[in-house]
């Protein structure tokens, strides 16, 4: 993957403009005096002196640049001092050009000038050597070998030209240049090797290249040119090459100053170093040049040696290029492997659908926030009836709905909040810096935003959620914080969904009690401790039995169903318990039918919870049980409360499927739910069981009597049966009959009976009907 980084562009500045102008001026002055002297040679040194002062200022400014590495700042200060010393040396050369022009042209300096130049060279070499190589032992070894290669090559050239100068009687003119050549050659070696490395004291690559250019210009101009070109009196190539060298240094300083504070770009991989090959090529060229004056035999051997070294170099370069291609492929594969690794890591810590953190990453983030010992709240959000969307509209719409919810959620969170998808329709949010009350206020604003209709795969849907909030405490752990928020969320859901609940100790006590009772319920179910009782449904006004309602009892625990049934609902045990109730009741009905035939109860009702209706395959379970026990579907009644099917969805679909089997459906506790009249248009009910709260106060012109009368009119208009619950007195039964009710149940007719007493009643009824016939 390519990462774009800012590059330090060259931009004109007064210092750079002055440096370029001085370089041009130096070239013009040298060219004019070289063709025909027109003015004093001392003027030719002036541009260089100005250039060196400008360079010293530029380097000093760079050393003080904000964000520059400490080692790099030290280097730039050293180069600034070096430039100042070279300026002093140039002033000495300018003075010498007035006193003894011949000595200047022969690169001979007086003692102060030589000291200034020597001090400058020592400072720059020491500064370069102090730069960290930024590599391992192999990097250091390559540096030493490249430096020695250049040193040997430069020494050979210096020796040859010195010997040649001695043979021509011009040794004095060449001795000093040879020494300078060797020193500058070492500087070139250092600079070139440094350019090939990365991270050297915070120096940017472009800066290092300008350093290398400065070293090359100084070496060629200061050392090689004087050996092959005879200068006119008073002139020196230093008048051109010294400003050029300083111009490169000034450009390096400008580049470094603009790159300060930016990330260093990694150096490109180099297949090989050009330093050894350049050294061999230069030595081969010198060998061919020298052998031309040494006879044919020496020349042939020299040519052969040069050819062999060339072939070996070409072969080696070819092998290195092949290795480079292999390394490039390896790099590509490693890059792909790293990308795959990063993708796998992301998948391991994030949800694939929403892109939010998953549970593992969420818990890790919670633990890290807890370690900060600052206020923190954790919110658990569970979407109410999300399964309905999946079942009725399909999983594609459900996924689009979750994605839309995620976008809406992220748009309303603060910058430091962390959201995660913890399960199918369950989300978690970490709210750092908030207490419980503040967290609820924020979550209410989020809930308001999420309650606005959102589009999911072409459907306009509304999200409702139950939210639990837990606040951190001393010694809190991520696991415990998550558990408390989860407990609060289920409390909100049990309270009627679409609500908020904040964890407190009372919830914990309720939860612990539920868990203990839930464990006892499971044990009791496995041990067969539950029994069934049957309360008759009687006809009015005669009180004859027309059916039975099945009720569950737990005799050993001495706990009423009003206590353990809600716990079974919250813990999920209502599913196996309800299945046992239904099968046991159907088996009992089958036994009564086999024994009493037409005298058996015409209808047997079983209460079914919302949790059972939402259970996949429940309608099939009812069908299989009817077939297993041989009970006609129309003799079985499924009793459901209004709240079980109020939200529609899966529960209502299951009820429709049960109705399609031929099973009868009764709406239990009718009149106490959310939208009773609206339900009658959607729920496939056969009868309504009017809640006992409307029966208890019935009589005369009471409100209960008005409601009970209105309900019987509704059922008659919709062709539904009506059963009045909780009838305890003869007066209530008589009033209900006068209002139009024909069926009722309650203690006035019979308490819930065990199976044996129901059998005795059925046997007595059959005997009573058969006795007049015998008479």
DSSP 305-317: HHHHHHHHHHHHH
pLDDT of residue 234: 57
Whether residue 133 is predicted with pLDDT greater than 90 in this model: the reply is no
Residue 547's pLDDT band, with cuts at 50, 70 and 90, is very high
Q: Is 492 within the bounds of a domain?
A: yes
Percent of the chain at pLDDT above 70?
76
Task: Classify residue 67 by its DSSP letter.
Answer: T
Residue 402 vs residue 237, higher pLDDT: 402
Whether residue 663 is predicted with pLDDT greater than 80 in this model: the reply is yes
Residue 360's pLDDT band, with cuts at 50, 70 and 90, is confident
Residue 171's pLDDT band, with cuts at 50, 70 and 90, is very low
pLDDT of residue 218: 66
Q: Compute φ and ψ for 697, nearest 5 degrees.
A: -105, 20
598 and 718 both lie in a single domain: yes
Give the tens place of pLDDT for each residue, 592-632.
Answer: 999 998 889 999 999 998 888 888 889 999 999 999 999 99
Task: Classify residue 200 by its DSSP letter.
Answer: S
Q: Is 108 within the bounds of a domain?
A: yes
Give me the helices (H) in 220-273, please. Answer: 225-228, 238-259
Residue 678 vs residue 4, higher pLDDT: 678
The token pair at 725 is: 């619950």
Residue 395 vs residue 19, higher pLDDT: 395
pTM > 0.85:
no
Residue 169's pLDDT band, with cuts at 50, 70 and 90, is low
Task: Classify residue 350 by its DSSP letter.
Answer: B
Residue 453 vs residue 698, higher pLDDT: 453
Closest CA to 731 of 710, 702, 752: 702
Identify the three-state secondary structure at position 96.
helix
| Residues across the chain | 775
Q: β-pairing, 418-421 with 426-432?
A: antiparallel
Torsion of CA 466, 471, 477, 479, to 10 degrees: -10
Give the tens place of pLDDT for each residue, 190-215.
Answer: 554 454 443 455 566 667 677 667 76
Whether residue 369 is predicted with pLDDT greater than 60 in this model: the reply is yes
Whether residue 353 is predicted with pLDDT greater than 80 in this model: the reply is yes
87 and 186 both lie in a single domain: yes
Could you tell me the CATH number of the domain that includes residue 476? 3.30.70.270
258 and 119 both lie in a single domain: yes
pLDDT of residue 664: 95
Give the tens place of pLDDT for each residue, 83-115.
Answer: 888 888 878 777 777 776 666 555 666 778 778
The residues with which 419 forms a beta bridge, in sequence order, are 429
Q: Is 704 within the bounds of a domain?
A: yes
CA atoms within 13 A on the CB side of 556: 10
Answer whether 557's CB lies under 8 Å from 571's CB.
no
pLDDT of residue 602: 92
Among 211, 230, 262, the domain-final residue is: 262
Closest CA to 743 of 541, 534, 535: 541
Closest CA to 353 of 461, 459, 425: 425
Could you tell me the CATH number of the domain that includes residue 588? 3.20.20.450
Mean residue pLDDT of the chain comes to 79
715 and 602 both lie in a single domain: yes
435 and 564 both lie in a single domain: no
pLDDT of residue 692: 83
**Rounded mean pLDDT, 286-312:** 80
Whether residue 752 is predicted with pLDDT greater than 90 in this model: the reply is yes
Answer whether 379's CB lies under 8 Å from 391's CB.
no
640 and 712 both lie in a single domain: yes
pLDDT of residue 235: 67
| Residue 456 to residues 399, 452, 462, 556, 691, Cα–Cα distance (Å) | 8, 13, 10, 52, 40
Q: Compute φ and ψ for 373, nearest 5 degrees.
A: 55, 45
CA distance 390 to 398: 5
Residue 564 vs residue 161, higher pLDDT: 564
pLDDT of residue 174: 46
Domain count, the chain: 3
pLDDT of residue 168: 58
Whether residue 220 is predicted with pLDDT greater than 70 in this model: the reply is no
Residue 57's contacts (CB-CB under 8 Å, 6 or more residues apart) are: 15, 80
Give the tens place of pLDDT for each residue, 436-489.
Answer: 888 888 888 888 887 788 888 888 888 888 899 999 988 889 899 998 998 888
496 and 557 both lie in a single domain: no
Closest CA to 253 of 48, 83, 22, 25: 83
> 589 is in which domain, residue-wise?
529-765
Whether residue 589 is predicted with pLDDT greater than 50 in this model: the reply is yes
Closest CA to 543 of 743, 692, 246: 743
591 and 714 both lie in a single domain: yes
Helix (H), strand (E), coil (C) string for 188-250: HHHHHHHHCCCCCCCCCHHHHHHHHHHHHHHHHHHHHHHHHCCCCCCCCCHHHHHHHHHHHHH
Residue 12's pLDDT band, with cuts at 50, 70 and 90, is low
Closest CA to 277 of 309, 301, 237, 243: 309
Q: Is 299 within the bounds of a domain?
A: no
498 and 584 both lie in a single domain: no
Task: Classify residue 753 by its DSSP letter.
Answer: B
| Residue 217 to residues 66, 181, 240, 295, Cα–Cα distance (Å) | 30, 12, 10, 35
Among 458, 487, 503, the domain-final residue is: 503
pLDDT of residue 109: 67
DSSP string of 294-308, one letter each residue: S-HHHHHHHHHHHHH
Q: Is 181 within the bounds of a domain?
A: yes
DSSP string of 97-153, one letter each residue: HHH-HHHHHTT---HHHHHHHHHHHHHHHHHHHTS---S-HHHHHHHHHHHHHHHHH
Give the tens place of pLDDT for each residue, 482-538.
Answer: 989 988 888 888 776 778 888 888 887 877 888 888 899 899 999 999 999 999 999
- Computed over its alpha carbons, how large is the radius of gyration of the chain? 50
Residue 338's pLDDT band, with cuts at 50, 70 and 90, is confident
Among 262, 289, 316, the domain-final residue is: 262
The token pair at 718 is: 């919709």
pLDDT of residue 140: 65
pLDDT of residue 144: 67
Answer whether 533's CB lies under 8 Å from 753's CB.
yes
Q: β-pairing, 465-471 with 500-502?
A: parallel
| Residue 246 to residues 54, 80, 112, 442, Cα–Cα distance (Å) | 9, 11, 21, 64
Q: State the CB neighbour count (10 A cutoff) for residue 745.
A: 25
227 and 115 both lie in a single domain: yes
DSSP string of 574-590, one letter each residue: HHHHHHHHHHHHHHHHH
Q: Is 293 within the bounds of a domain?
A: no
482 and 566 both lie in a single domain: no
541 and 496 both lie in a single domain: no
């Amino acid at each position: 993957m390519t990462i774009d980084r800012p590059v330090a562009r060259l931009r004109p500045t007064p210092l750079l403009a002055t440096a370029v102008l001085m370089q041009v001026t130096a070239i013009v002055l040298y060219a004019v005096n070289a063709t025909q002297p027109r003015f004093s040679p001392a003027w030719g040194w002036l541009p260089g002196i100005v250039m060196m002062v400008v360079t010293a200022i530029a380097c000093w400014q760079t050393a003080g640049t904000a964000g520059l590495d400490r080692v790099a700042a030290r280097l730039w200060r050293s180069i600034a001092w070096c430039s100042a010393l070279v300026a002093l040396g140039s002033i000495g050369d300018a003075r010498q050009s007035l006193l003894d022009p011949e000595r200047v042209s022969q690169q001979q300096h007086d003692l102060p000038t030589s000291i200034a130049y020597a001090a400058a060279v020592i400072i720059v070499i020491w500064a370069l050597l102090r730069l960290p190589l930024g590599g391992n032992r192999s990097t250091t070894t390559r540096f030493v070998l490249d430096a020695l290669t250049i040193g040997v090559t430069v020494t050979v050239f210096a020796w040859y030209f010195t010997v040649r100068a001695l043979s021509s009687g011009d040794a004095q003119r060449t001795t000093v240049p040879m020494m300078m050549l060797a020193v500058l050659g070492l500087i070139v070696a250092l600079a070139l090797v440094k350019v090939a490395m990365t991270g050297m004291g915070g120096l940017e690559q472009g800066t290092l290249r300008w350093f290398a250019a400065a070293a090359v210009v100084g070496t060629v101009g200061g050392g090689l040119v004087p050996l092959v070109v005879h200068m006119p009196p008073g002139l020196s190539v230093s008048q051109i090459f010294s400003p050029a060298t300083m111009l490169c240094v000034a450009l390096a300083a400008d580049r470094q100053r603009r790159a300060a504070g930016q990330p260093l770009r990694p150096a490109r991989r180099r297949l090989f170093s050009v330093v050894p090959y350049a050294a061999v090529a230069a030595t081969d060229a010198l060998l061919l040049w020298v052998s031309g004056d040494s006879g044919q035999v020496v020349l042939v051997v020299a040519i052969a040696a040069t050819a062999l070294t060339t072939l070996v170099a070409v072969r080696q370069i070819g092998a290195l290029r092949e290795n480079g291609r292999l390394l490039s492929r390896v790099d590509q594969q490693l890059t792909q492997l790293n990308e795959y690794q990063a993708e796998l890591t992301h998948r391991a810590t994030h949800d694939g659908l929403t892109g939010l953190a998953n549970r593992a990453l969420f818990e890790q983030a919670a633990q890290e926030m807890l370690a900060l010992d600052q206020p923190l709240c954790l919110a658990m959000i569970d979407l109410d009836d999300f399964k309905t969307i999946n079942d009725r509209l399909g999983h594609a719409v459900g996924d689009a709905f979750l994605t839309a919810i995620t976008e809406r959620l992220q748009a309303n969170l603060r910058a430091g909040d962390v959201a995660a998808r913890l399960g199918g329709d369950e989300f978690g949010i970490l709210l750092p810096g908030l207490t419980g009350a503040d967290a609820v206020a924020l979550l209410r604003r989020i809930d308001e935003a999420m309650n606005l209709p959102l589009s999911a795969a072409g459907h306009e849907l509304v999200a409702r959620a139950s939210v639990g909030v837990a606040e951190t405490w001393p010694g809190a752990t991520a696991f415990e914080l998550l558990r408390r928020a989860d407990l609060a969320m289920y409390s909100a859901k049990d309270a009627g969904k679409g609500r908020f609940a904040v964890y407190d100790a009372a919830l914990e006590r309720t939860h612990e009690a539920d868990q203990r009772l839930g464990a006892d319920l499971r044990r009791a179910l496995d041990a067969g401790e539950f029994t069934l009782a049957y309360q008759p449904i009687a006809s009015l006004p005669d009180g004859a039995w027309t059916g039975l309602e099945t009720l569950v009892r737990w005799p050993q625990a001495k706990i009423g169903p009003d206590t353990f049934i809600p716990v079974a609902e919250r813990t999920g045990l209502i599913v196996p318990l309800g299945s046992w109730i239904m099968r046991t009741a159907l088996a009992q009905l089958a036994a009564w039918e086999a024994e009493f035939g037409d005298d058996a109860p015409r209808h047997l009702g079983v209460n079914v919870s919302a949790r059972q209706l939402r259970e996949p395959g429940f309608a099939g379970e009812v069908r299989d049980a009817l077939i297993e026990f041989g009970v006609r579907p129309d003799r079985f009644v499924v009793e459901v409360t209004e709240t079980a099917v109020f939200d529609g969805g899966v529960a209502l679909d299951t009820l429709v499927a049960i109705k399609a089997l031929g099973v009868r459906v009764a709406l239990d506790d009718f009149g106490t739910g959310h939208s009773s009249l609206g339900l009658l248009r959607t729920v496939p009910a056969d009868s309504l069981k009017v809640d006992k709260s409307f029966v208890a106060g019935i009589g005369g012109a009471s409100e209960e009597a008005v409601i009970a009368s209105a309900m019987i009119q509704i059922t008659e208009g919709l062709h539904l049966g009506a059963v009045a619950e909780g009838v305890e007195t003869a007066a209530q039964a008589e009033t209900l009959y006068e209002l139009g009710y024909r069926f009722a149940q309650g203690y006035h007719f019979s308490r819930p009976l065990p199976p044996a007493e129901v059998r005795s009643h059925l046997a007595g009824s059959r005997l009573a009907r058969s006795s007049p016939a015998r008479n």
